[in-house]
Structure formats: C-alpha cells, structure tokens
Amino acid sequence: MTIEQLPSTGGPVLGASDAASSGPEHVTVPVAYDAILLAGFGGPEGQDDVIPFLRNVTRGRGIPDERLEEVAHHYRHFGGVSPINDQNRELKAALEAELGRRGIDLPVYWGNRNWDPYLADAVQAAYDDGHRTLLTIATSAYSSFSSCRQYREDIAIALEKTGLAGAIAIDKVRQYFDHPGFVEPFVEGVVAGVRELLAQVDDPSQVRLLFATHSIPTTDAERSGPRDRSFGDGGAYAAQHLAVSELVATLAARELGLERLGWELVYQSRSGPPTQPWLEPDVNDRIAELPGEGIRAVAVVPVGFLSDHMEVLWDLDTEAKESAAEAGLAFVRVPTPGSHRRFVEGLVDLVLERRDGTPVDDRPALTDLGPWYDVCRPGCCENVRAGFKPAASGLAP
C-alpha cells in the first residue's frame, strides 16, 4: 500500500509490523524486531549549516532568511554548532553498549528529521544491511505535533523517499514521559540542585522549582493526545508535563526529607508571532516575579528535554540564568537525562517491552496517564496549520 492509497480514517497503520498494523492501543504479542531506529531532531555542525538547517526546520512556512537569522544568532554564539548531534552519537553508543551488556543483538541506526544523517538515509542503510522490521525510539518523550506526530510524519516521508513502503516495517516505542528511566535522572538532579541551593538560603520554602519545557501554540496543545480523552487546558502535552513535574517534585522532596518543594510548570523558546497564543507563563517572566513572592533561589528543571541541546544552552543556561541574576536569585539548572545510565536502561526496557509483547499491566508508568499508547490513535496531535499528513506508527488520520 502506498502513502497515497492510505485510507483517510482508520487503519491499517502505515508501514507497521503485522502485530501493529490493525492499530491496537498496546501491542501485546511478540515482534521479531531486527534493528532499532534512533530518530533525532538534528542540528547544524558549522556556521555554513545554520541557515540551511533552519530552512529545514521551518519548511513549508515561508519564513524568510532575515527572520531565520534572528534565531541563527543562538547557534552562531556557539560557533554554528548545535550539541545535539554529538549528544545523539553519545546516546547511540550508550544504547549499543547496554544492548551488548544484555546480550541483545539489535543494531542501532540513527537518523534525523532536519539534518544529516537524515531518517531516509538511516532507513535505507538498515534495509541494505538486511533488516526488515525496525523499532523507532524518538528523542522526545511527550505528545504533541512537534514532539510526536511530526516524527511519525517524517518516518512516512522516509518510507516514501526510499521507496521502501511495504518492504520494511517501522514501529515506534510509546511516549515515555512517565517511564522510570526518564523520571529518575530528573529526581536525582533536583535533589542535587536543591541541596546546592539550600547552602545559600535559610528556608526550603524560599526555593522554587521551575519545570521548563518548549512552548507550543495553544491550538496545537489543545489537540495533543487522542481525540477521545479530555486532558483539560493545554491538552495531553500540558497534562503530561504537569503530572511528571509533580511526581519529580514529590519524589525529590521525599529524598531530601522535606514535606514539600514549591514548583510550577513554565515554558520557553516560543517562536510564533505575538498575535498567536502560545503556552505560558514564560520562564523569564516567572523568574522576574519570584522575589516579590519571597523566593530567593530557583532550580530550573528542563523536564521537556532529553539532552542539553541549543534551547537548553541558550534559553536556560544563558537567558534564564541572566534573568535570575537580575532578580537577585540563586540559580541552578538541573541536568537533562542525556545518556544517564537509568535513562539508557529505560529505553532498552521499552524496546524489550515491544519485542516481547509485555502485557499492559506489567509496563512501568509512574503517572495515571500511562502507560501511553504503542500505536497513536486516530486524529492524535493534529497540526492545525497544515492539517493531517500521512504518519507512521498511528491510525489515520
């Protein structure tokens, strides 16, 4: 079945294994995967790459280079090099090492949505090496168009570009925002960060945790997650972040021997026109307000991010840190999971969950929202501006 022939509603699931092709919420039969596809965002690796990379990121939106240059200065500040590709190389190597430690013979292929190595190249390489059933790990833990469906659309594009639709199957692990392997590194980082701050302030109530994630348009947020579930304002995207933030704050307070830690969810990196509503409050706006609320120290927790890529280095380590200094607040930024041992172990656990068809009741999930779906539901995470496009690993549309 070609992409053009895909039905407008319902299955079969584009490019899926036989076990996932009819679209069950959770696949609980074993699947003989023979390779892993690590799907990244991608980033420039030199000054000459910056504008072409940003054109890829914003393709279809008609944004002139002059406006792209307003964002490019973040990359140019660091020599035009985003750290994200090196971080994915490190994650790939860590996954390979953990798979080897467990005696699991699954090669890892890495491809990006927006820069070399591209997803289509990775899919083609896997096929040329004789692999026919791939399981994707996307480097994004939450549900929204930009953090889930766009990865699935780009996998569909890769199948189209390579002409391998029908010749190779590609599934995807569930969104893992509440998997222990993702949560535990944040708890560890918050505990260490708060201990550092408590050496500078008298009272834990003077410390505020700001859990930071990427802002997205409110219309996209409202459509994040499946249509048949209600998540409140901000859709599944906000609900997932709120649930994980509360969990991390609660577990960290317990480990510190505190009754509670004050926390809130904030947003960063908005890029739309001022007339378009995006999720708020902005991290810098909240930092400026905190001294008036009796707060003397802030720990910024990049809960929406897997690694210390550009929007962590610039928006948090540069701008948010400067905002804290201007407000007279002690500041720490908690690490992202990166290639933390527990995170890597958790990703391999997710692979085995699909390989072995683990029953839903045996799948770890630390919030009431999970375990999330193996196969995305119809209409999940619509892009309001562009509408529905063919997407792998989910029921159409």
Name the pLDDT band for 2 (thresholds 50, 70, 90). very low
Residue at a domain's end among 296, 317, 333: 333
78, burial (CB in 10 Å: exposed 0-12, middle 13-18, buried 19+): middle
Total domains present in the chain: 2
Q: Strands, DSSP E only, in the chain? A: 35-40, 108-112, 133-138, 169-172, 207-214, 262-268, 297-301, 330-333
Whole-prediction pTM: 0.95
Polymer length of the chain: 397
Whether residue 196 is found in the same domain as residue 319: yes
Judge whether 67 lies within some domain. no
Residue at a domain's end among 317, 333, 349: 333
Q: Please report, for the domain that includes residue 202, its CATH number.
A: 3.40.50.1400
Judge whether 232 lies within some domain. yes
Whether residue 211 is found in the same domain as residue 317: yes
Whether residue 202 is found in the same domain as residue 153: no
pLDDT at 4 over 50: no
Residue 111 β-bridge partners: 39
55, burial (CB in 10 Å: exposed 0-12, middle 13-18, buried 19+): middle
Whether residue 258 is found in the same domain as residue 329: yes
Domain that holds residue 18: 3-43+82-175+340-362
pLDDT tens column, 69-89: 888 888 998 899 999 999 999
Name the pLDDT band for 60 (thresholds 50, 70, 90). confident
pLDDT tens column, 96-139: 999 999 999 999 999 999 999 999 999 999 999 999 999 999 99
Higher pLDDT, 376 or 62: 376
Whether residue 116 is found in the same domain as residue 193: no
Whether residue 186 is found in the same domain as residue 114: no
Find, among 143, 121, 313, 132, the residue nearest to 221 by Cα.
143
pLDDT tens column, 132-186: 999 999 999 999 999 999 999 999 999 999 999 999 999 999 999 999 999 999 9
Judge whether 290 lies within some domain. yes
pLDDT at 226 over 60: yes
Judge whether 260 lies within some domain. yes
Whether residue 247 is found in the same domain as residue 297: yes
User: Does residue 85 contact residue 308 with C-beta atoms inside 8 Å?
Assistant: no
**Residue partners of 386: CB distance under 8 A and separation at least 6:** 60
Judge whether 380 lies within some domain. no
